[in-house]
A and B are shown apart, each in its own frame.
Chain A
Amino acid sequence: MSDAAVTRAPRLAPRLTAWQWARQNLFGSVADSILTVVVAIVFGWLVWHALDWAVIRADWFGESKEACKSGGACWAVITARWRQVVAGYYPEGHLYRVALAMLFLAVAVFPVVKRDLPAWSALLAPVGVIAAIAILGGANILPSVPTDYWGGIMLNVLVGLTGAIFALPIGILLAFGRRSDLPIIKAFSIGFIEIIRGVPLITLLFMSSVVLPLFLPAGVNLDKLMRALAVVTLFSSAYMAEAVRGGLQSVPKGQREAAHALGLGLLQTTGLVVLPQAIRISIPAIVNTFIGLFKDTSLLYVIAILEVTGVIRQALSDFSWLGLENEGYVFVAFVFWVACFSMSRWSASLEKQTGKEAKPAREPA
């Protein structure tokens, strides 16, 4: 800096005004301008019609489709059955238990969503899920409510979260098993993963509810929902394993060596150094699996478990609501979309956070 040369003061990079941006990006040439206008018109027309049908001319409440006279969507089919939509046939006086169970599920996901908590907080996940199931079922303390009465969105959330929370640790074990030096463990892990991944979930669900009981002695009656939960968990654990394996592979060998050189044992190296990095790398893949799993909970209706799709189908087959498929399925699609889209947003924000640790911009000197 002792140089006599003129030092230029740094200044901000030039920034475009909204008008300049539009000129450059939307109306850069004649073709661009035509395209912009055409797309805008088509898009506007679609949005307008959707809004017109779903909101402006919609009817929201009523006892049957006769109540819907405005010509728009007839959401009465949903609102009239809101209790089933939310919780299936869970007894009316006990809905507070549904709310409580949802609260516990929220506690269960808390350690996953919120980072920088002590390691023991991971235990909240299984504890929260089991507590939620106990509250819903009664657990010999509250009046018992058999799982046949559970249903609606609550069931999708319950099955999705339970599956995810138990599938992740199983998936991690399988991923390590797949890389294990022990041939038996390796063969078992690969076999399990490849068999599960090669069979559609719907087949496994049928097998669990139709085939499995054939092999059980008469009188032994495993709960249908619990069987479905087990199937869903095992199913997604195979996918989770592959997601985690990708992460494990991308942790450089030098990390293990450094840990080893510091005297950390195999378990410590794995748990403190390799796994945390592998999980962070595989967050997008893990969330993808979660999203797939959550959407797959709609398949439960084929084994007569009344999750939200099942509830809606039942409503649509009711004489007073015949012919409202549009409303019914748009609603189901909306429910799943909201859930999955929030998960994907959340995963993107997590990636950004970890990105800061992994490769931030060099600090200016």
Chain B
Amino acid sequence: MTRAPAKKPAARKSAAAPQAAATPAPPARVRPALGPPCVEIEGVHKWYGDTHILRGVDLSIRDNEKVVILGPSGSGKSTLIRCVNALEPYQEGRIKVVGCDLKGPPKEATAARRKTGMVFQQFNLFPHLTILENCTLAPMWVLKKPRKAAEEEAMELLERVHIGEQARKYPAQLSGGQQQRAAIARSLAMNPEIMLFDEPTSALDPEMVGEVLEVMTEMAYEGMTMMVISHEMSFAREVADRVIFMDEGEIVEIAPPDQFFSNPKHERSREFLSRIL
């Protein structure tokens, strides 16, 4: 794991750029350098009714950075990234995505929302549309792209997640791993600045976990900023710049993966690791 001071790939934003497809199998796995802050979370509090779910979360994620969020069930991990994607409102604090405040004026809030892509545990593909249509729906209706352009880009993305030949099928005709990769392609089609993953592999049969993690790893090396909730240690070790441990609505510990897994600082982290390892 060399962290070479590589230059930021020029075509980062045109994620569909053919260069990825053109490069032969093992891409040069060099980590792109971190950039300016991409997501800034400051003092975020959230309540469901009277239950205090997020208790003052502060976190800043830089461009190109990948963080893996760990924590026991119910610790507020999902709630946190759902707040970043504006799927949940929060009562106090501030979240900015690439400088746009989620609670800013409507235009700014929409802009902030457009910059995030989300991958769900349950895939949530649209079952009445083909895989290709799933990937072109938002580009055509939100970005107003012409159908042809949208389809071409979607096909490139589907190739990139290795399911190009499934494009005309309906989601139910695909395996879980293929569906999750389709969901990733669907998110990428909107050219997000940051991708959020909420336990993307925990609804999958064990033999399909690998193919999804592989796609996510490729994405990471291509320079996507990622915020991933996952308990896949190998993925965290290889990809994460930082591991974030949450418990009871707070961030308890932030550390590089090697350090976190071998030598956790906090008592609660240690206890959690002893349970899942």
Contact = CB atoms under 8 A, between A and B. Distances in A.
A277 to B, nearest CB: 5
Interface in A342-365: 356-360, 362-363
Nearest to A258: B124
A357 B124 contact: no
Interface residues of B, number: 28
B235 interface: no
Contacts, number: 69
Given A272-B141, A358-B172, A359-B172, A263 B124 contact: no
Contacts of B87: 257, 260-261
B230 interface: no
A160 B189 CA distance: 45
A263 B118 contact: no
B194 interface: no
Contacts of A276: 128
Given A257-B87, A357-B172, A262 B127 contact: no
B122 interface: yes
A359 B190 CA distance: 28
Given A254-B122, A272-B137, A263 B128 contact: no
Give the interface centre of A272, A280, A362, A363 by most chain B CB atoms within 10 Å.
A272
Given A260-B87, A358-B172, A360-B172, A280 B141 contact: no
A180 B273 CA distance: 45
A363 B126 contact: no
B117 interface: yes
B120 A257 contact: yes
Contacts of B126: 255, 258-259, 273, 277
Main secondary structure of the interface of A (DSSP, over half): helix
A261 B172 contact: no
A255 B134 CA distance: 12
A263 B138 contact: yes
Contacts of B127: 277, 357-358
Contacts of B117: 261-262
A258 B87 CA distance: 9
Interface in A17-41: none
Contacts of A362: 175
B172 A264 contact: no
B213 to A, nearest CB: 21
A357 B113 contact: no
A264 B143 CA distance: 10
A273 to B, nearest CB: 6
A105 B187 CA distance: 43
Nearest to A357: B170
A252 B127 CA distance: 11
Given A262-B190, A273-B126, A357-B172, A268 B120 contact: no
Contact of A264 (B85, B122, B128, B138): B138
A258 B142 contact: no
A272 to B, nearest CB: 6
Contacts of A257: 87, 118, 120, 124
Interface in A224-270: 252, 254-255, 257-265, 268
Nearest to A365: B175
Nearest to A277: B128
B46 interface: no
A274 B266 CA distance: 45
12 contacts: A255-B126, A257-B124, A260-B86, A261-B116, A263-B110, A263-B113, A263-B138, A268-B141, A277-B127, A356-B170, A358-B127, A362-B175
Interface of B: 85-87, 110, 113-114, 116-118, 120, 122, 124-128, 137-138, 141-142, 170, 172-173, 175, 183, 186-187, 190
Given A258-B125, A259-B138, A262-B137, 16 more contacts: A252-B122, A252-B124, A255-B124, A257-B87, A257-B124, A260-B86, A261-B87, A261-B116, A262-B138, A263-B113, A264-B141, A264-B142, A273-B137, A356-B170, A360-B172, A360-B173
